[in-house]
Structure formats: structure tokens, C-alpha cells
Chain A
Amino acid sequence: MRLFQKTNFNFIRHRKIAYAISFILLISGMVSLFVRGLNYGIDFKGGSEVVIRFDKPVDVGSVRSIMMQAGVNGSVKQYGLDRSLLLKTDFQGDTSQLKTLITNALSSRLPANPSRILSVQAVGPSIAADMKLSAIKALAAALVGILLYVSIRFEFKFAAAGVAAIFHDVLTVLGMFSLLGGLFDFMPLEVDQSIIAAFLTIAGYSITDTVVVYDRIRERLRGQKPSDYERIFNESMNQTISRTIITSGTTMISVLILFFFAGPAIRSFAFAMFAGILVGTYSSIFVAAPIVFDWQSRSKNPIKLRGA
């Protein structure tokens, strides 16, 4: 079977359209980040999360009001498992106190529908601040590392454009989290540790597709005149588009499987990965290589490529 055989898109000619799309994506994400902000999970905000399972189906609203009356301030939502609810609260005292508070309130108000606490997670604010710092450090280190590696393997322009594409991917996904955060009960889209894991994986993976395109450009560019660059860039991208899409495709299959089967704890992560791979594939064709092209056509130095 073959898809995308003998394509002949003029990517370079239409790059301005792609730039405009990316620009809109990024700007709307940024605006949302400033206006709506991000929904942080307890990892980065501190607080407590309790998963409660009931023996029979239960109305979220009634549990919400019971919790309110019991003095537990927070949100109650469906958790993606059967008859389970997720209670979120800023409560940062003793978790056993919180547990007794919840179980007492539920057993006295809903005696016909017994419930159990499945899990309790509580994170203090000081550790949440530390985790945030670690996450930023990890992301920064990843970007610098990739910049260095690609510079060594290709050339600085290629590396910088690749890292710009990663920025583009991560920021777009972050913008999506800000825009869509809290809209869906089945995936909270909160930024927590697992989302940072997704960002790092996206950063590592986004460059994969980019490198495939770069590799081909490098192979074809050797000994060519700058006037032929546009044609070579276009041909290289057309020649690699099939593998770019298939490699992303197989990974997207596994991410979709995770989204549907791995349960609520993984769902936001899978969403982030899916969006990231999608945007990453787009950006390696429409952002990274065109930036290199634009940069190159404006610079006086010819491309000095390293590597095989």
C-alpha cells in the first residue's frame, strides 16, 4: 500500500500561508494564556484530589452540594471510571481528616449508595513550586540540548529553525490547553507532571520529522547552486512527505489507543501527545524547512553542511 506517492506540492511558494496559520495559532494560544491562563493540576498548584467510587450511579450535583455543606470547598466532577467522581479541593491539612470529613458526609447523606475512597493525592505548595521549577529546567535543558545536537549534526540555521519549530509545537499545545482547559469532563486538560512529560516527548519527537526532511535536503543540496535551492527544498519535502506522515501516523495510533483505553489518568497526556505530534508533523514541513530557506536566501554565506 502507498499513500502520498509522487506528490508535487510547492511548499516553499505557499510558505507565507503556513506562516500565517502558525502565527494565528500561536497568537490565539498566547492570548488565551494571558486571558484565561492555564489550569494547573495539583502537582504545580498544590491541593488535594480524591477519587470516590459509588456502588450505584450517582448525581454529581447532589454530591457537590453535600460536599459544600460538609465544608469541603472544591470542585466535583465525573472521573472517567465507572461510578466514580473526582473531588478537587485546596484542602491542605491532614488528609485523614479530609477523608473522614468526606466519608462521614457521604455515608450520612447517601446511606443507600455506599461509596469508597479510591485514591487521595495531596501536594503541598512548597513542593508544587519545586516541581514547577524542575519542569521549566527540564524543558529548557531539552531545547538547548537539541539545539546543540542539531547544530553539530547539520548547521546552526537548521538547528535554530528546528528549535523554533519545537517552540511552535509546544506553545501551540500549551495554547490549546489554555483554550480548552476545563471544558471537558472526560479530560481535565490540566497542566501537571504528565503534561510536562508530554511536552518533553513532543520536543524530542518533533525534531524527528524535521530531521528526516533536513537529512534529505542536506543530501540533495551538496554542490548545488543557491538559485536551485527553492526547487531542491520543494523536491526534498515532497520526497519525504510520505515517511513523515507514516512515522507520525504509527505514533499517533498508539497515542489514540492510550487516549481511549488507558483510563482517565493518562487521557490529558494522550491528548497533549496527539496534538503535539499533529502540530509537530505540520511544523517540520511548513515551519522548520521554510525558515531555513528564508534565512538562507537572506544570508550571504552558503550552506556549510556537516555530517553524512
Chain B
Amino acid sequence: MKNNSFKLILIAVVALVSVWSLWPTWRDYALTKQLKSYHSKEDSLKFSIDHRAEIEQVHEKSLKLGLDLRGGMHLVMEVDILDLIDQKAWNKDANYYRIMANVRNATRNSSTNTVELLASEFGKENIRLSRYFYDMRDSDQDIVSRLKKEEQDALMRAREIIRNRIDQYGVAEPVIQTQGSQRLIIELSGVTDEARVRKLLMGTAKLEFRLVKEPQVLLRAIERVSSVPLQAPLQAQATPAPADSAMAAASGTATSPTPAAVPAIPPALPAPSAVVTKKLSDVIGMLPNGQVFTPAYARDAVTAVLKRQDVAALLPQDTQLLLSAKPEQTASGEKYYLIYLVQKTPELTGGVITEAKATFSAQDAQPEVLMSMNDEGTSKWARITGANIGKQIAIVLDGAIYSAPVVQSRIPSGNSVINGIGSLDEAKDLEIILKAGALPAPVKILEERTVGPSLGSDYIRAGMLSMIWGFTTVAIFMIIYYNKAGIAADLALVLNILVVISVLAGFSAALTLPGIAGIVLTMGMAVDANVLIYERVREELAEGKSLRMAIDAGYNKAFSSILDSHVTTLAAAFLLYVYGVGPIQGFAVTLMIGTGASLFTAIVVTRVLFDLFIGSSFMNEKSFG
């Protein structure tokens, strides 16, 4: 019996550890319930202050619910590595652009690493990578490994920056993981304003200070491009390709004007059909003061045209035509955007910004963001402003001009300001993004799943209901079919479920709806081991063996099948965990824990129970039904 007392202690320890691990979950539930029971705000505030330490502690250790049950946002984002590579390239020529377009196409249809795709595309054309990347003397291999390093760094940097942004925005317990070489998985619970979060995450916040060209240069440039048709010539279409399959393409952060100006209908929809066959000159006009503009409806079309390479080639060296971020309004209420000709090379970039603050401006109470620069930025800024007094410097954010003030005097303090921002929320998000730093390359959203809290609570109710029904039905069936032995199997089942939930809580794995399904399924599978044993015991009893011998034989001979079936189920669940994503992994986890635990509960626990009662009048040959 010594062996048995060891098993008893083991079972007691497992049960105690499970209960101990679930205790915070129970306390968390009780405290939340108590908190909700107060009617006045003061009472609940007082309660939460009094119990603050405990509330925080138990909450941290309690069973977490997955996004699908709690409500929240699951995102898979991809860092545009090709853009990053493009930033590193120099000596770009037509060949380069052509091959890069091929690479971009290839990345869309393949899950191979982008850098390797790049290498193979250049390899196909027998062009050495060193012609465009790093040093002429580098071998292709060196360049590939350096680019891969860049890729890896970029992903890590993107993760940190996105984490910073989320932390500053204020989301409880965000999960941010990298996946593969260029993806990030982001899980945010309880997010209510998804549109804003999406903007916040995707904002590249590429801030640049650029010189604005004189009006006469602008006019000459406009004349040269005015005859360009709005529809891209066929061979050029491959190059810009913003109509990328990814879902994100449409929503650059700051390029869309202001929340108020985003109409209910997507702005892009009505316009294209109207402007598609026209020339650029049909949708640009000139104001009496020499400024060039385009009406609001043509904004997207014009932006697209100006990005085209054949159009850019017509402009003076190192210049670019950019639109203002925010529309102006005529007296009659028509909206239009100004077009500026700016120097392509920025005088200064957002990297020098150390501090940003969203406020309202003193003059007209419009939201704006004040920025201060580091030492290097400050001295550069002083030199730039000093050298360009009387000229305009454009503040460009993600390719749109927020303002283009005329420099009045040299600015020695390193301060600058972005105005022309639509709302205070937008200014605040801009503040967060500027402080957290710019993303190394644009990101796009590949997958987005949002569950509202009300659907989540529906799922919880459905999940609880199926757990209760699942347990009751299986438990009753076992008792009907196997009599007293069924009770032992049910007790083992209770312990099994307890172990599954407590392991989830203990390892801070979230419980998802598929996870609950996994638990319910485990209930049906966990008793299988008992069925196999009990059937064997019945057989042995039928052969006339004594109860003790039959039980012994039953456990021994059934073990092989039980082990085999558990191993195969565990293997399948493990593969599901490795290859599945998100909620499905929750299913795999509960299935693995449940199956593994049932090896212990269904075999050891029931055996101990039988051994304990075998001598007593409580158990006889009829106990196995």
C-alpha cells in the first residue's frame, strides 16, 4: 500500500496546485462582481482603492480570455521590406525599376523571403546586386546577408515602435509578436475606435522639412506636366502599383485629410470614372495669387499621377509636386487642395525630433503639434532657416504638405510646429507617432479581426452552456453505462478539467472560444481511456477472474491502446499548434493539455479509487456495470 499512498499524495498535490492556480481567477471574478454591485461611484471607487493591491495582483494571475471572448482587435501586419531595400539602393536606373517591379510581383505570389526573391530576380538577369546596393566590391552573398540583417533589424524596430505607440495610446496588455521575417501579430483587447488605432499603427510619420520652389519655377513645371493624361500609359502602370492587393493601401495616416473631411462615401469612388480620360490640366487650376490647386474630387487621381515616374521625369532636377494635406475652401464652399513644387531632398527629417506636444494654437485655436529637436537638429534648423529667410519651407508628413510657412527669421531654438491638423485626436496621435519614432518602412495590414464585446459575451455564454451540458451528459452516460466505476471516471474527469483550466491560467494562456470547444471535446475523449479499461475489466470478469485480478489485468492490457491513441491525438494537436494561428492555437493547447492530463487522471486517479474501495462492501463485481 506504500505505492498507493504516494499516488494519493500525488493526486492531492495536483488537485491543490490546480485550485491554487485558479484561486486568483476566482478572486478576480468575486472582486469584479462586488465592484459592480455598488450603486454610487464613490463607493466603488473607495472599494477599488482599498483593495487595489489585491485587485491588481489577482487580475494579473487570473485566467485570461482570448480576444474573441473579450472583444478586441487582432491584426497581422507586414513591413514592406521591399520599400526598405529600395531606400538602401542607389544608382537606380530603368533596369533597376523594372526588376524591382518584378520582385514586387513575385513577393505577392510567394512566401519566400523577400531578400532571396530579390537576389534570384537580379540573378536571372545576370546583374550583380552590388551595382545598386552597398559597395561595388561586395559579393552578392555579402549583400544578401547584409540586406537580411537590415530586414531583421527593421522588423524588430517596427515592433518596438509599434509597441511604443500602443503603450502611449493606452491599451491594456497588448500582445505584439513577430512572425517570420516581415510580419507582426498584434492583439489589442477592448479597443473601441478601431479606425483610429489602425491609423496610429500604420502611420509611418515620415516628417520632412523641404524647401518650396519659387512660384515661377512651379508654373513652368506645371506647364510641362499639364498635358499628361490622367490615365497612366500602359507600360508605366506596373511601376506605381499602389492598387496593391493588400488591404491597407488605401489608408495612409496623414495623407487622408481630416476625419471630418472623410465623407461617408469613400472619396475615391465617384471621382475616377469622371476624370479617367482627361488630362492633368483639366483638373488643375491657378489662383490669382499664383498658387496652383486641384479640386477635392480629383485629389486622389492627381496624387496618383504625380507619383508616376514618367511624370516625375518632366519636372526640374530634384523636385517634386506635392499636395497639401488639408483642403482649403472657397467662399462658395468648394474644397480644393494646393499643389506645391518642393525640393526632393529634405533639408531635415523627423529623426531629429525629440519631443512633440499636441495643443491648440494661440492665434486661431486650431490643433497643432509643437516639436523640439535634438542638438544636431537644432543647429541644422538654425542654419537652414537663417539661409532661407523670406522663402517657404514645407512641413511634409508622409508625402503631404501640412503647412508651408515663410521663414521670417533664423530659428535658433530648434522648435517647429505642424499645423493644419484636423482634430485634437489627430494631433494627439501625431504626437504619439512622432515621439515613438518613424517606422523603418511602411506597413500594411494583411489580416484584421475585430470582435465587439457584446458578441464576445454571447460566445462566453454559449461556451459555458456547452461546457455544462457536455460535462453533464458525458458524466451521466458514464454512470448509467458503467455504474460505480462510472463515478470514478467522472471524478477523474472533474480533475482533468480543473487541470486544463488551471494550466491555462498558470501559464497565462488565453481561453478562446475554440479553446472552450477543445475542453468540451476533451471531456468526451478523456473518458475514452476509462471506457477501454472498463471494457477490458468486464471481459476479464466474464472469464471468471476475481475482481482484483480483473482490475489489474484491465489496467495493464488496456494501457497499450490508451498510450497509442493519446500519442496520436497529442501529435495532431501539436501540429495544429505549430501551423495554426490565433484562436485555433487555443483549441490545440486545450486539447494537448486535456489529452496529456487524462493519461494521469483516467489511469492513475481511477486506479487509486478502486484500490481504496476494493476491500469494502462498496465495490463488487457489479460495480463495472
Binding site for B on A (CB under 8 A): 1-2, 51, 53, 71, 81, 92-97, 99-101, 104, 116-127, 129-131, 133-135, 137-138, 141-142, 145-146, 149-150, 153, 193-194, 196-197, 200-201, 203-205, 207-208, 211-212, 215, 219, 239, 242-243, 246-247, 249-255, 257-258, 260-263, 265-266, 269-270, 273, 307-308
In the assembled complex, B175 has its CB within 8 A of some CB on chain A? no
With known contacts A81-B458, A250-B474, A261-B466, A121–B528 Cβ distance under 8 A? no
Known contacts A95-B194, A247-B528, A257-B473; is A262 also within 8 Å of B516 by CB? Answer: yes
Task: Name B's A-contacting residues (CB within 8 A).
Answer: 68, 76, 78, 108-109, 111, 194-195, 198, 245-251, 264-266, 269, 445-452, 454-455, 458-459, 462-463, 465-466, 469-470, 473-474, 477-478, 480-482, 513-514, 516-517, 520-521, 523-525, 527-528, 531-532, 535, 538-539, 557, 560-561, 564-565, 567-573, 575-576, 578-584, 587-588, 591, 625
Shortest C-beta distance, B554 to chain A (Å), equals 11
In the complex, the chain B residue whose C-beta lies closest to that of A138 is B579
Interchain residue pairs with CB less than 8 A apart (30):
A51-B455, A92-B246, A94-B198, A99-B195, A118-B454, A120-B449, A122-B449, A126-B78, A138-B580, A193-B584, A194-B514, A197-B514, A197-B580, A197-B584, A197-B588, A200-B573, A201-B573, A201-B591, A204-B570, A207-B568, A215-B564, A251-B521, A253-B474, A257-B466, A257-B469, A258-B470, A262-B465, A263-B459, A265-B459, A273-B521
Q: Does the CB pair B520–A257 fall under 8 Å?
A: yes
B455 surroundings in chain A (CB, below 8 A): 51, 53, 81, 118-119
**Which of B68, B76, B198, B571 is A146 in contact with, Cβ under 8 Å?**
B571
Q: Tell me if A262 and B466 are in contact (CB < 8 A).
A: yes
**How many angstroms between the C-alpha atoms of A205 and B478 in the bound complex?**
20
Distance in Å: Cβ of A146 to nearest Cβ of chain B: 6
Complex CA gap A56/B464 in Å reads 26
> In the bound complex, do residue B575 and residue A208 qualify as a contact, i.e. CB atoms below 8 Å apart?
no
Tell whether, in the assembled complex, residue B448 and residue A120 are in contact, meaning their CB atoms are under 8 Å apart.
yes
Cα-based distance from A119 to B571 in the complex (angstroms)? 33
Q: Say yes or no: A200 contacts B576, CB within 8 Å.
A: yes
Contacts of A257 in B (CB 8 A): 466, 469-470, 473, 520
Question: Which residues of B are found within 8 Å of A124, using beta-carbon distances?
Answer: 245-247, 445-447
Looking at A101, A145, A253, the one whose CB has the most chain B CB atoms below 10 A away is A253
User: B249 to chain A: which residues have CB within 8 Å?
Assistant: 93
- B452–A119 touching, CB < 8 Å: yes
Cβ of B266 and Cβ of A101 under 8 Å apart? yes
Contacts of A2 in B (CB 8 A): 538, 625
Which residues of chain A come closer than 8 Å to B264, judged between CB atoms?
Answer: 100-101, 104
Determine the residue in chain B with the shortest Cβ distance to A307: B560
Main secondary structure of the interface of B (DSSP, over half): helix
Residues of B within 8 A of A142 (CB): 571-572, 575
What is the number of contacts between chain A and chain B, taking CB atoms within 8 Å?
A: 258
Complex interface: chain B residues within 8 A of A71 (CB):
269
Partner of B520, one of A119, A145, A254: A254
Q: Chain A: which residue is nearest B267 at the CB level?
A: A97
- Within 8 Å CB of B572, what residues of A? 142, 146, 200-201, 203-205
**CA of A136 to CA of B609, assembled, Å:** 44
Beta-carbon nearest neighbor of B572 in chain A: A204
In the complex the two chains form, is B575's CB within 8 Å of A200's CB? yes
Across the interface, B247 reaches (CB within 8 A) one of A93, A129, A130, A138, namely A93
Cβ–Cβ contact A246 & B447, under 8 A: no
Bound complex: CA A101 to CA B265 (Å): 7
Q: With CB as the reference atom, state the residue of chain A lying closest to B560.
A: A308
Q: Judge whether A212 and B561 touch: CB under 8 Å.
A: yes
A70 to chain B, nearest CB (A): 9
How distant is B83 from chain A, measured CB to nearest CB, in Å?
16
Task: Please give, as numbers and ranges, the residues of chain A lying within 8 Å of B539 by CB-CB distance.
Answer: 239
Say yes or no: A138 contacts B561, CB within 8 Å: no
Q: What are the residues of chain B within 8 A of A200 when measuring CB–CB? A: 572-573, 575-576
B513 in contact with A121 (CB, 8 Å): no
Q: Complex Cα distance A173/B473, Å?
A: 26
Could you tell me if B447 and A122 are in contact, using CB atoms closer than 8 angstroms?
yes
Contacts of B76 in A (CB 8 A): 127
Complex partner residue of B513 from A53, A251, A266, CB under 8 angstroms: A266
Complex CA distance for A98 and B249, rounded to whole angstroms? 14
When distances are taken between beta carbons in the complex, the residues of chain A under 8 Å from B248 are: 94
**When the two chains form the complex, which single residue of A95, A104, A138, A251 contacts B528, counting CB atoms closer than 8 Å?**
A251
Set of chain A residues within 8 Å of B198, measured between Cβ atoms: 94-96
Q: Which residues of B contact A251 (CB under 8 A)?
A: 521, 524-525, 528
Which residue in chain B gives the minimum CB-CB distance to A209? B565
Please give, as numbers and ranges, the residues of chain B lying within 8 Å of A123 by CB-CB distance.
446-448
B565–A212 CB distance below 8 A: yes
**Identity of the chain A residue whose Cβ is nearest the Cβ of B486 in the assembled complex:** A1
* Complex interface: chain A residues within 8 A of B459 (CB): 263, 265
With A104-B265, A204-B572 given, can you name 6 additional A-B contacts, CB distance below 8 Å? A97-B250, A121-B450, A137-B579, A146-B571, A193-B581, A249-B477
The listed residue (B448, B449, B465, B569) touching A261 by CB distance below 8 A is B465
A193 to B581, CA, bound (A): 8
Given contacts A126-B446, A247-B532, A253-B524, is CB(A211)–CB(B565) below 8 Å? yes
- Contact across chains for A126 and B580 when beta carbons are under 8 A apart: no
A249 nearest CB neighbor, chain B only: B477
Chain B residues within 8 Å of A125, by CB: 245
A94, B560: Cβ atoms closer than 8 Å: no
Contacts of B582 in A (CB 8 A): 193
Bound: A117/B452 CA distance, A:
8
Which residue from chain A places its CB closest to the CB of B74 in the assembled complex? A121
> Of A92, A130, A138, A260, which contacts B245 at CB under 8 A?
A92
Query: In the complex, what residues of B have CB within 8 A of residue A120's CB?
Result: 194, 448-450
List residues of chain A with CB within 8 A of the CB of B68: 265
Listed from nearest, the 9 A-B pairs whose CB atoms lie closest are A204-B572, A254-B524, A208-B565, A138-B579, A251-B524, A96-B195, A263-B462, A261-B466, A118-B455
CB closest residue in chain A, given B539? A239
A254 interface neighbour in B109, B195, B452, B521, Cβ under 8 Å: B521
Q: Is the CB of B520 within 8 A of A126?
A: no
- Chain B residue at minimum C-beta to C-beta distance from A70: B265
Q: How far is the CB of B179 from chain A (nearest CB, A)?
A: 10
Residues of A within 8 A of B463 (CB): 262-263
Q: Is the Cβ of A246 less than 8 Å from the Cβ of B516?
A: no
A116 to B247 CA separation, bound complex (whole angstroms): 23
Interface contact B569-A95, CB-CB below 8 Å: no
Partner of A94, one of B247, B538, B565, B576: B247
Residues of A within 8 A of B514 (CB): 194, 197, 266, 269
**For residue B266, which residues in chain A have a CB less than 8 angstroms away from its CB?**
93, 97, 101
Q: Whole-angstrom distance between the alpha carbons of A261 and B462 in the complex? A: 6
B425–chain A nearest beta-carbon distance, Å: 14
Residues of B within 8 A of A207 (CB): 564-565, 568
Which of A193, A194, A307 is packed against the most chain B CB atoms within 10 Å? A193
Residues of the A chain whose Cβ atoms lie less than 8 Å from the Cβ of B482: 1
Residues from chain B with Cβ under 8 Å of A239 in the complex: 539
**How far, in whole Å, are A134 and B524 apart by their CA atoms in the complex?**
28
